[in-house]
Structure formats: structure tokens, C-alpha cells
Structure 1
Amino acid sequence: MPFFDNQYAKRDGLELAHLLYSGQVSALELMTEAIEAANTVDPLLNAFCFPRHEAALNEARTATLRGTFGALPFVFKDSGLAARSHGGSIGSRLFSGTVSPEDSTLADRFRNDGFISFGRTTVPELCMAPTTEALQNGGPTRNPWDPTRSAGGSSGGAAVAVATGVVPIAHGSDGGGSIRIPAACCGIYGLKTSRGLVPHGPRKGEGWGGLAVHGVLTRTVRDSAAALDGIAGMEAGAPYAAPARPRSYLSELEKAFDRPLRIAKWAKGWDDVPIDLDCIEALNAAERALISLGHEVVEVALPPLDYSGFVEALIDVLCANAAMSVKDFLATSPKAGWKRLLEPAIRDAVLIGNDLSALRYVAAINTFHRVGRALDAQMVSYDFVISPTLTRSPLPLGELSMETDFRSFRRQAARYTMFLALMNASGQPAANLPLFRNSDGLPVGVQLIGRLGADAEVLKLSAHLERETRWADLKFDSTRANAPWQRRSLNVATSQPCR
């Protein structure tokens, strides 16, 4: 009989760790549960790739409990995070089967804190889309609440793994919203940490001109806080200093704020980009919850910045990185006809990146820095900002397609993700709050933005809102008989498993 009669999926990581350390369950039992759950979910939702099930079962069978989480089932995002025991593809047919010769600092920190990874989770090609529909994956990654819609991206597979209870915590990364987007689409919690807080090394010092950060996706705020306790902190040789942090993020969650907070509210978009009513209703629900907690919420004008100019700068940096990734790969693994192995938008990005001037790249980085100053100027008067996470509910699959040129693709994506990549440019912490469902039962997220380095405060306010709104009651119940990802209840074609 499955562990606790299908109770595994209902417990968060800290609760499972307690059961491990108290001897009430074994690491092998948990890993068996996780792999069985992944095998049930994946034929329809298509969230997992590069499985290492037998190796993970063997590791669990002989595991010595360590760190906060003991020996907890886990998955790495297929984002290129170096781990010698895991193949990968970064969502690309060109890179498929790539194996790193060394472990990253972050992979080591995850293992030392008690995580055992049984594979990777799906991403769009080169992680450059807000929806996970890479050809490499054999089909799109589907939203567990409505499999005709996107699970988000680029950490789309990771969000599905957490939302359906396959794992309570999954690795993610965020270079323009890639943790917050799928967290919003799948109804879970996702924190983009402050720049420099979580390591990139030892082979890299940053990603995408300082935009990208690593982190986790979880169902509970306390799991995110506990995971951050294990992975955060300065790394020797890193180009950015890690922000000051408390002794324990987890221990901060129960503390009260020493005064009522002043919170800014962004309810309109730059360049007159429309925001769906569902997203505004979610924002208003967050405002009501904050007021009930005794805080002040003030709707304010957006910081004055050139959003369309920022989007062009972002496109330039993405193109430069796409070109460099392909160049580095081909230098060691030449492939004839490699262009045919890239999707049209990414192939175009590589061509743009090859021709991009150094002057234009520097101008893009300077644009990011101007954005950071504009946002910081508004934060002087407020403790936090709330905004919609996305401008629309989860997108129908196929609406945002890479069958086009890269600039058109990213401009369209930038309208959907308007409030997200700006925080990557500024380096500020920002989290998706899963506290609302629309009339169709789809998750609609709210973004909570803090000052640079104020990750503990973002986590603490998130935990207060989690208790106030009881968003745990809205979580996806993967054990119910009519769970929407169960194949018998849907007339949706299944995906082909990716390698």
C-alpha cells in the first residue's frame, strides 16, 4: 500500500523530513512514492526528463540522513545546472544528452541539505520562453488544472512536479520570471531571490548579464525558507556579494513586523498593456488580506521607465547568450546541420547574437542598471510592492509559439510577463503568491516585491499571507479520484516521453 494511503503528496518537505528523522518512514519508501507519482503524472502532463530512477532508488536505499531534509526526493531543472550524475538538454535537441564533468556548487549544496534527485524537469528551449513547449520534450508541458493550458516557463516541469505532489520542493531558476511564471500558472509558491544570494559557480559567476538566479518552487512558504537556509550564501570567487541574511530564514517566518507596513500597489501596465480582470481581482484579494493584517496599501503610479526599451535590451542579452551557448557547445561537440536542431525563434536568436556589437551589449547592461535605480527610487517610500504576476491567466497551449522570429516572440512574451523581468534587472527579491483562483478554477498569481536583500522579509510577509488567506486550502489535490491530470477523465493526447 502506498505510504500513508496516498498521504505523501499532501505533506510538505519539512513534514516528510521529520518523518524520516523520527524513523516513521524510510528514504526508500519516499523515493518509491515519488517515482510512482511521476510515472502516473508524466504521460499526460509531460513534466519530467532524463530520469535516473534506479540510481536514485539505490541512493535512497543506502542514504545517511543529513541536512535539513534528510533524504528527500527532488528534481533538478533541465536548465544546465551542472550535476555529473544527470544528463540534460536545456530543452534543446542540439544539446540533448549533455553531461557535465563536474558538479556545481548549488548541486552540492542541495545534496548536503538532504535532497536526492531522480531526474530533471522540462523547460523551453534554452529556457527562453514563459511557456514550456520545447520540441525536445516530445510535446508541451501541460497545466495540471487545465491540460489545454500552459504550465508556464521556463521552470514549467518543476512547477508541475510540485503542484501535483510528486515532490514537495523542486529546483528552479529565474532569469525573467521563470520561477514566478510557472508558480502563478500552477498555483504554488515561487521566490526569485536577490542577486548574489544563491551561487552560480564554479564554472559561472552569473547568468544573462546578472538577470538569472537559482532557487526552488514549493507548496508552502516554510519549505522555501528552509531550502534557502541550505543553499544561500557567498561562494568563493563570485562576482556579486551575497546580501546579508539572517541566521535562519525559517526562524523568521513566525515573527511579527515591528510596525504596520506601507505597501505600494501596481494595478496598471506600462505602454498601456491591458491586464485581465482575473489578475486585477487577484491583486485586490491580496490588498484586502494585507489590510486585514493591519498594513497600508497605496495604489501608486508606475516608476518612470522605458519598458519597450528595456524589452529590446533584454532581447539583445538573450541573443548574445544563445549565441555563446551554441558556440561553446559546437567547439567541443561539432554537429553538422546544427541549425536544424534549433527551433526557429532560437535559431534566429543565435544569428542575431553572432552579429550583436559589443557597444549594443554594453548599452543593454546599462539599461538594466537604469531600471534598477528607477525601481529602487520608488522602494524608498514603501516596504513592499504588490503587482499582478502575469497580465493574463495561464495561456492556451500553442498561443505563444517559437515558430517565428525571436524579437517578435519575446515582444509578445514581454506583454504577458510585464512585471517580472524588471525585478531580475534590479536584483530585488520577488515571489508569486498563490492566493486566488478564477471562476474556471485556474490559479492566478500576485507578485510580492521586496527591497534588494530583503528576502527574509518577503518570506515572512508571504507566510503571514499564507495563514491569513489559507491558500493551502486552494492547493491542487493530486490524490482525488477525478484529478484533472488523470488520463481517463480527459480527451487530450498524451505526450511522448523525453529522454
Structure 2
Amino acid sequence: MHDLLGLDALGQAQAVSKGEVSPRELAEAAIARIEACDGAINAVVHRRFERALEEADKVELDAPFAGVPTLLKDLGWGMAGEPYRAGSRTLDGISAERDGYAVTRLRRAGFTILGRTNTPEFGTAITTEPVAFGPTRNPYDLRYSSGGSSGGSAAAVAAGMVAVATASDGGGSIRIPASMCGLVGLKPSRGRVSSGPSAGEPWAGFSAAGLLCRTVRDSAATLDVVAGAMPGDPYGAPAWRRPLAEEVGADPGRLRIGFLTGHPDGTVPPEADLVTAVTGAAGLLAALGHDVEPGGPPALAEDGFAAHFGTVVAAHVAADLEDIGRWRGRPVELDELETRNRILGAAGRELGAVGYLASRDWIDGFRRRMAAWWNSHDLLLMPSLGVAPFRLGELPADDVSLSRGLTNQAVAFTSPINATGQPAISLPLHRTADGLPVGVQLVAAAGREDLLIRVAAQIEEERPFRHTAMR
């Protein structure tokens, strides 16, 4: 049964369809794996094993992922009647009132949902160490962070508890944990996955829902399941000409690819492992026949991005606190929050509407200046994480600024792509001397997840990914 857990989600679904294993047996194997190894890792903060087994017995066997176990990130991804904590003590005793649209699609596709995964409070950190639940440890080395904010989901997939788990990315929160835990992490285009019915555009559209996987084909097939705008959404992403799963193995053609090993604004000190990871990936892409050259969008070097991005995030944290107060029936006091969110919440509450809209307008212009580069290029190659893998406890609790410190360096290559709404995929192509994963990301023009999947599958075929933490 352990061999079945080593399969990707499509492999597990195929085993069910062939009658090699029942949905209940597959769920029981995943539950046993969680019980055996999560005590050390702390990825799963809510378990619904009994109900999951009952649901596995009733799954429609013709569903595309019939009986495949999964876990939901405990931020977004609401599930009716299940606890919803968002990594925060302010939500003690709160349960979701209804399924999110994407959760409904997962359930219709046949997934068996085993529980919910750890996340930093409100998803505002690059490491998963909430006071409410404690730190999630990296399966490759328990002294290290699994990243954030989807660190619980990433650790669970890397440790072999499930083949895929849900995630979200507001400043790098899919790509950073994917890099830290050696996974494939696809951040979809803005509007690709509905945030409804409870939200329209989280963090002004910076945040996108997706999944963390071990294979490119799972990234494609699972995004096919959850993608699609719903009535009332503020916008949707451009439609693909065919299902994303059909892009796996398709010829990407000869692509024009720029790459960056250092950040153009000069604020991110070069890290040897990041340089090695990106130059290695650039060499691989060139060997595969693509035109690869140094360089990236000039807009990345502009002053002002970090301040405007931070203004938008602070405003939305403050608004979220108001929502929580209404939800639980009493206002949220700042002293209930962790230091990071106390600072963000206070800043957001002091911000006026004019200041917020001025920052959104600046981001609108930045998005257009960034998009112009893709008129002459197909893809941008950069680090997924702007720093080397870091240990638990290394990020100061008050490090919330995007203009200084570890947070700024870590998200320097990811947060601009949240602001532009473009799709990006992190691939596990490098290891440090100590065996810790380091990812690189490819960024495409808005709506072009299809191109990312084609080239990512080409890379994976040429250099298959290793997932040694599952042993």
C-alpha cells in the first residue's frame, strides 16, 4: 500500500479504476501515513478521518480522481461544517457555513478530503509557524521551514501523506513552499479559480488558488478540475483551447526565454545555490532547443513596488479583521493577533480610501509595464524563493516590510507576479549540498498556463524530479 501512496494522484486514480485498490483502502493508507509521520512534521491541523472514510465508500467510481485522498489548506478552501481557523486564534470555534466553489469541484471529481493543513496566521508569512498550531517542519530536514503560507500542504505532499493538496498564493505562497519542499507548484492566472462564494478577489486579486503536486501531469489535471469562473465572479481568466492535461507531452516549440539570477533592483544579495539552480535550468532549456538569454522585464527594477504591494495587503488584512469580527459576533482586537498581523492590521486601519486606491492604480500601471516584456519573450526564468532554505525560527515575528529583511528578499521574485496576475510554475530542479530542495520558477504571459505545462513536462521528462522525503 505504501507503493500506492508513492504514485501521483493520476496514478492512484488509475489504480482505483482498475480495481487494484478501493477508495476506502487508499484513504486508510493515507490516514495511516499521516498518523505515522505527522507527529514530527505537524502538517495536518484538523482531521476528519471517519467522515472521509464514509465518503470514500460512496464515491462515484467514474469520477476522474475517484477515491484519491487530499488535504485542504486551512485558509480559503472552506468546507461546510468543518473548522476554519486560517492559522489564527481569533477563529477558535468557527466552522465554514458552505463549501467554496473549488472545494465543490474537488468533491465532484472524486477526491476524498482527509482534513486541513497548517498555515501562518492569515497567510501573511513565508514560513508556517503559527502560534495557534505550532510550526510545520520540512520533511527533508525537520530543523527547516516548509515555507509559507501553504507550508502545511507542501509538507504533507512531500512526506507522502497525500499526492496533492490545495494551496493559495498571494505573494509566493504556492511557489515558495514548492521550492522548500521539492514540489511542483503552479500559481494560476488571476481569475482562473473562483474564490466564491465567500470572496471575489482576495488581496485585490493578488491571491490565486491552486494545488501542490509531485508531478507536472497532476498540476495540469487538478487545475482542470478546479478551474473556471462562476456567476458573480469579478472576472475570469482567458479560456484554454483544450484541457490543460492534454498539454502534457505537447511540443512547446522553440521558446524565447529570459532569465534572472539576481533581482534587478539590487536589493537581494546573490545566493550561490539560487544562481546555480537558475543557470542550471537555463542550460537545460537551451539544450532542449530554446533560445535562452540573460535579462527580464525592466519594470522589476522600479522603486515603489514593495510599498504599494504592502499597502494593498495591509488594507485587506484590516478588512479581513472586520469580517472576522462580524463572523464571530465580536470585534477583533489587535492584541489578539500575532505581531506581524498586529502591525499590518493597524496600518490597514489607519489607511484611507484614497491611499489604498492610489496604490492599486500604481499596481495597474506596473502590470502593464511588466506585460510589455512578454511581447518579445515567451517565458521568464527566475528563482522561486529569493533566499536559501532557512530554518524554523529564523524569520523575526515583526518582519512584515517588503522593503527590508528576509521577507523582502524571499518574495522579491514572486510577489511581482501576484501583482501582475500572470501564471508561474515552480519546479524542483536543484538541491543544496545538504540535500535541501531549491526550486526555479517559469513565468508566462497572462492566461498561458498551457505553455507552462508544455515546457515543464518537457523538463520533467528530460530530468525527472526526485522526491526522497517520502522514504
The equivalences for 1:27-176 within 5 A come to 27-137=23-133, 139-176=134-171
Kept in 1, the 8 Å contact 2:194–2:230? The answer is yes
Alignment correspondent of 2:326: 331
Alignment correspondent of 2:468: 476
Tell me by how many angstroms 1:367 deviates.
2.2
Amino acid at match of 1:475: H
Q: Flag the 1:96–1:66 CA change in 2: closer, same or farther, 3 A.
A: farther
Q: Flag the 1:432–1:332 CA change in 2: closer, same or farther, 3 A.
A: closer
Among 378, 387, 391, the alignment partner of 2:382 is 387
For residues 330 and 453 of structure 1, the distance between their equivalents in structure 2, rounded to whole angstroms, comes to 36
Q: Flag the 1:268–1:64 CA change in 2: closer, same or farther, 3 A.
A: same
Any unmatched runs of 5+ in structure 2? none
Q: Secondary structure at the match of 1:229?
A: helix
Deviations for 1:139-169, whole angstroms, at most 9, x for unmatched residues?
2111111111110000000001111111111
Q: Secondary structure at the match of 2:205?
A: coil
Kept in 2, the 8 Å contact 1:66–1:113? The answer is no
Q: Flag the 1:367–1:476 CA change in 2: closer, same or farther, 3 A.
A: farther
Q: Secondary structure at the match of 1:434?
A: strand
Q: Secondary structure at the match of 1:435?
A: strand
**Mean Cα deviation higher: 362-371 or 327-336:** 327-336
Alignment correspondent of 1:289: 284
Asked if 1:464 is matched to 2:458, the reply is yes
Q: Flag the 1:79–1:337 CA change in 2: closer, same or farther, 3 A.
A: closer
Q: Secondary structure at the match of 1:135?
A: coil
Among 179, 182, 186, the alignment partner of 1:184 is 179
Tell me by how many angstroms 1:307 deviates.
5.0
Alignment correspondent of 2:401: 407
Alignment correspondent of 2:419: 425
Among 209, 215, 219, the alignment partner of 1:224 is 219
Q: Secondary structure at the match of 2:201?
A: coil
For residues 88 and 172 of structure 1, the distance between their equivalents in structure 2, rounded to whole angstroms, comes to 15
Kept in 2, the 8 Å contact 1:66–1:112? The answer is no
Q: Flag the 1:427–1:32 CA change in 2: closer, same or farther, 3 A.
A: same
Tell me by how many angstroms 1:401 deviates.
2.5
Deviations for 1:194-243, whole angstroms, at most 9, x for unmatched residues?
11111111221111011011110000000111111111122111111221
**Mean Cα deviation higher: 445-454 or 259-268:** 259-268
Alignment correspondent of 1:304: 299
Any unmatched runs of 5+ in structure 1? 480-499
For residues 363 and 412 of structure 1, the distance between their equivalents in structure 2, rounded to whole angstroms, comes to 27
For residues 410 and 54 of structure 1, the distance between their equivalents in structure 2, rounded to whole angstroms, comes to 46
Q: Secondary structure at the match of 2:347?
A: helix
Among 259, 273, 277, the alignment partner of 1:278 is 273
Looking at both structures, which has the greater relative contact order when contacts are Cα pairs under 8 Å and sequence separation is at least 6? 1
For residues 405 and 316 of structure 1, the distance between their equivalents in structure 2, rounded to whole angstroms, comes to 15
For residues 402 and 290 of structure 2, the distance between their equivalents in structure 1, rounded to whole angstroms, comes to 41
Tell me by how many angstroms 1:409 deviates.
9.1
**Mean Cα deviation higher: 326-335 or 222-231:** 326-335
Alignment correspondent of 1:485: none
TM-score if structure 1 supplies the norm length? 0.91
Q: Flag the 1:44–1:477 CA change in 2: closer, same or farther, 3 A.
A: closer
For residues 310 and 204 of structure 1, the distance between their equivalents in structure 2, rounded to whole angstroms, comes to 25
Tell me by how many angstroms 1:136 deviates.
0.8
Alignment correspondent of 1:377: 372
State the identity %.
38
Kept in 1, the 8 Å contact 2:322–2:332? The answer is no
Q: Secondary structure at the match of 1:436?
A: strand
Deviations for 1:233-287, whole angstroms, at most 9, x for unmatched residues?
2211111122121321111111113x41110111221332212010010001111
Alignment correspondent of 1:244: 239
**Mean Cα deviation higher: 284-293 or 338-347:** 338-347
Amino acid at match of 1:7: D
TM-score if structure 2 supplies the norm length? 0.96
Asked if 1:416 is matched to 2:410, the reply is yes
Amino acid at match of 1:423: I
Tell me by how many angstroms 1:105 deviates.
0.8
Kept in 2, the 8 Å contact 1:9–1:164? The answer is no
Kept in 2, the 8 Å contact 1:90–1:96? The answer is no
For residues 58 and 393 of structure 2, the distance between their equivalents in structure 1, rounded to whole angstroms, comes to 44
For residues 66 and 476 of structure 1, the distance between their equivalents in structure 2, rounded to whole angstroms, comes to 32
Kept in 2, the 8 Å contact 1:155–1:182? The answer is yes
Kept in 2, the 8 Å contact 1:78–1:91? The answer is yes
Amino acid at match of 1:321: H
